[in-house]
Every structure is written in structure tokens, then in C-alpha cells.
Amino acid sequence: MDHSTKARITVDKSFVKSKIDDRLYGSFIEHLGRAVYHGIYEPTNQAADADGFRQDVISLVRDLNIPIIRYPGGNFVSNFFWEDSVGPERKARLDLAWRTRESNEFGLQEFSRWTKKVNAEIMMAVNLGTRGLSDALNLLEYCNLDEGTYYSELRKSHGQTEPYNIKTWCLGNEMDGAWQVGHRKAAEYGHLAAETGKAMKLMDDHIELAACGSSFEKMPTFPEWEATVLDEAYDYVDYISMHQYYGNLENDTADYFALTQDMENFIHTVIATCDYIKAKKRSQKWMNISFDEWNVWFHSSEADDDTMKNHPWQTAPHLLEDIYTFEDAIMVGLMLITLLKHADRIKVACLAQLVNVIAPIMTENDGGIWKQTIYYPFLHASLYGRGVVLETPVMTGKHDTIKHADVTDIEAVTVYHEEKEEVTIFAVNRNTDSDITLEADLRSFAGYQVADYIAMEQDDMKAVNTISAEHVTPIHKKEYEFEEGVFRANLKKCSWNVIRFQKNR
């Protein structure tokens, strides 16, 4: 352990690590709980537009500037019959994943219309649980073929003359998980993903495909699952997926904040496994990562188990409605920094999820809307984390926690947007005992000045926002020095910091 109340980072414009794919700021809408019904779609709400979409939700989602949204699941997709959710006649079904009733009143057509209003693309998942290759092809034909075939004409008969042209597809969801309807063994799934991917790309060679990786790092089959799946499917897919949720399960804030060490290890192992299969196959292709579910998720689990077990088959019940604390916002900030640090291999990432279900945005049924604590770090990263990521060496003290050793006090990464002439440092002080003075050397950015210093800092780790009071919001700080290209400020213990620089114009 190295106790120090000072940290130093070097920000140099020649240390470009990678371009950041905008899709790093993706999100996720699943037919789960109140995400769709009462979330994005509620025709009876006074804020609803002519399509029944809540305009208050559209407005907050637009502010987040989300480029891609994964749909329709999640576990939901593994028992989903997409045909029931398009056209004039919708069929109600039981959703076995969340043990609810799905009316299919809202489906692909409505979701596509909604994504246009929020300026996002769709990342579409196919059902490889209860269905398979031929249904995946039918859905692709429905979505992406212009005309002249059964399913493209069916789409046109539903009033959608232009194809949806969905580019990014998930080959099932969490197929390694015993909870998944239609769960497979690794070799079975790898073969199915390879054959489905091969056929889908024969139909449309513009698409990109993500094969399922492990559902979380502690899965007993990780990382053998990735190796086996990629051994089968390497040539046909573009991404291996990662999913990870964290929670402060032991109510130990310092150890909670250290969990991104595990996330780092998880990412390193997935990359190593991809590269092992690349070498084994003598392939020229680099496999990238679609981190298509990540967030904090633990507050709601007990209530959810009760609802699913004892009160099943409801329509749009309250499920996975975690109310996030201040410390959860810091954890989301740490996860964002970790994703950015690996932007050379992580090309897609989806904050799971977007509205009402483990979400930054919450609504009341036929009522108002509010922003959770985690809304803000995601907003800041999405707005200011575009461009290229710079290698950002951080000299910082370290501390031990109950389950983690040598945990860095300061986690930081820098993003440079050359055309906008903007540089942004994202930094978390995850030391729960000490403020730390951060010194950032930006001398390679001549003529730049501090444009804004945004922070989230709070004494009460458990502070939350509600519909009636926003207790956790960012502040704009003036307490800093910037002299001869060197920035200095006191980063409060347990704080999220966004320091923005712009070239003088």
C-alpha cells in the first residue's frame, strides 16, 4: 500500500490509444417490467405523442445522445416470437423469462419508430433459445430486404415500405446461463452461432454479429465458454459479448469501488481468449467486444424474486426497479472509465437498461419522470467522451480493501476530440478516507483552457433521487488552478470528476 494524497496524470496528444466507437454509449430496452409499457410507451399519459410514446422520456433519452439501443432482450428474447409483435394482429404470450404476460401491443414496428425519435439505431437480438437459424433468417429478411420475398413483402404490407436496415445483431442472449430458456452447452451454442451467423451473412453481408460470451465473470464455464464458442464461430462473428453487473452486496463502499479491478481482469481474459483463438486459426481478423449489458444491479433482487414466484403473469409489473444511490453513480463512473480504457477492443457497450428497469430514467404510471443518480455519469461520458482515447498514465496511491489489494486511489482516463478541439479528463477518487490533489500535465495542448469542471461529490453514500427531490446532481466547480498547462484540483473522496478543456478561440 502506498498512502499518498497526491496523484499525477500526463495527458499527451501523441498518446492516442484508439478511436472511440460512438456505440460505446449504447443502451438497452427489454420487454421486461415497465421498460416498454409505462416506460417508453404509455398512450394514456398526458405526455404521450400521437404514437403513444412518452415525450418526457424521449426528451431525456435524446439528451443522453445514445447511438444504439439493444432490443428486445435480454432473457426475454429466448422465448420471443417476433411475428406476434408486428402487423395488425398481435398475439399475447407468456414471457417465461420474467414470468409476465406480454400483449405484443408494442413490437418491432413501434420500437423502430421510437428509435428514430430518439436518434438511435437498433441492435437486434434473435431468439436462439426456443427457436433457431430459420427464424433468425426470417426476421433478417423482414427487417433488411428491400422487396420481392415473402417476409420483405409482409413488412411492406404492414406499412413499412423501407427496410429497417438493422446493422448490428446479437446471436441469442446469455446462452451459457442455466436460467436461459433454451440454454446450450458451449459447443452446441458455438455451432448454432456459427451456422446462424454464416447464413445471416449470406443473406446480408453488411450486418455485424455478436456471439454470446459469458453472462458474468464468475460463471463456472468462463473462459472456456469463450474459447469453445469462438473456436466454432470465429469466422462468422464480429464481436464476443460481455455482460457484468455489480452491487454493494456487503455494504462496504471501498470494496464496492474496487470491483472494477475484477472488470479489468474480466476484459483482459476475454481479449486474451479471443487472441488465442485468432492465433490458433491463423486468422487475420481481430475479434472485438460488445459489452452489451453493464450496470449496477442488486437493490431490487428480493422483491423481484417474490413477484416472479408468487405473483406471476402480470402485465408490466414493477421489476428490477433498483433505486440508485450516490455511491452507485460513482460505481457507474468507474465502469465507464474502465470501458473507455479498453476502447481499442470494446466497440459496443450497452448500459442496461434505459427506462424503469435498472435504469437511469424512471417514470410513474400515468405520472411524471425523474433522473436517477446514475443518469449523470453516463450523460457526461456520452456527451464528452467522444473522439479518441488517450493513454493516460496515472501516478497514484493505492489502498487495500477487504477483498482487493493494491486498489488505485484515482482512476482516470482522457478523451481528445480533435475537430472540436476539446480534451476531457474523467476521474474518480475512489479512496473513501482521503481527498486527493490531482495534478494533470496538459502541456502538449498549447492554448487550451479549462472550459468546465463538473463533479459529483456527497457525504451521504446512500443519498438517492426521487420524483419529488433530486438530492444527487452534478455541480460546477471553480476551485482549481491551471497554470502553464498544469491543472491542479482537490478531488473529494468518493467523487466523480469531469474536467473539460477547450482551445482558446
Judged by the rule CB under 6 A, the positions of this chain that interact with ligand AHR are: 30, 73-75, 173-174, 215, 293, 352-353
Q: Judged by CB, which is closer to ligand AHR: 75, or 429?
A: 75
C-alpha to C-alpha distances, 278 to 212, 224, 235, 274, 275, nearest whole angstrom: 17, 15, 10, 6, 5
Q: Judged by CB, which is closer to ligand AHR: 73, or 333?
A: 73
Q: Judged by CB, which is closer to ligand AHR: 23, or 492?
A: 23
Q: Which three cell numbers stand for residue 216?
A: 458474468
Q: Indicate the residue whose CB is closest to ligand AHR.
A: 74
Sign (positive/negative) of CA torsion 244, 250, 256, 261?
Answer: negative
Q: What's the DSSP call for residue 54? A: B
| Cα gap 494→327, rounded to integer Å | 8
Q: Judged by CB, which is closer to ligand AHR: 27, or 138?
A: 27
**C-alpha closest to that of 426 among 483, 376, 371, 372:** 376
CB of 173 to ligand AHR, least distance (A): 5
Neighbouring C-alpha atoms within 13 Å toward the C-beta of 44? 6
CB of 98 to ligand AHR, least distance (A): 8
Task: Give 232's contacts (C-beta < 8 A, 6+ positions apart).
Answer: 187, 190, 191, 193, 194
Segment (H or E) for 380: helix 375-384
| Amino acid at residue number 37 | Y
CB of 50 to ligand AHR, least distance (A): 30
CB of 119 to ligand AHR, least distance (A): 23
CB of 8 to ligand AHR, least distance (A): 38
Q: Which three cell numbers stand for residue 305?
A: 424474486
Sign (positive/negative) of CA torsion 473, 478, 480, 485?
Answer: positive
CB of 498 to ligand AHR, least distance (A): 27
CB of 316 to ligand AHR, least distance (A): 15
From the candidates 30, 110, 141, 293, give the one annotated as an active-site residue: 293
Confirm whether 174 is a catalytic residue.
Answer: yes
Looking up cell 418491432, which residue turns up? 108
Pairing of strands 346-351, 288-296: parallel
Q: Judged by CB, which is closer to ligand AHR: 241, or 432?
A: 241
Q: Which three cell numbers stand for residue 325?
A: 444511490
Q: Judged by CB, which is closer to ligand AHR: 170, or 489?
A: 170
From the candidates 121, 174, 226, 422, give the one annotated as an active-site residue: 174
| Cα gap 69→350, rounded to integer Å | 7
Q: Judged by CB, which is closer to ligand AHR: 94, or 469?
A: 94
C-alpha to C-alpha distances, 228 to 83, 187, 285, 293, nearest whole angstrom: 32, 6, 17, 21
CB of 293 to ligand AHR, least distance (A): 5
Sign (positive/negative) of CA torsion 341, 343, 345, 350?
Answer: positive
Q: Judged by CB, which is closer to ligand AHR: 352, or 455?
A: 352
| Cα gap 356→305, rounded to integer Å | 17
**C-alpha closest to that of 56 among 368, 359, 351, 467:** 368
| Amino acid at residue number 315 | T
The residues assigned a catalytic role are 174, 293
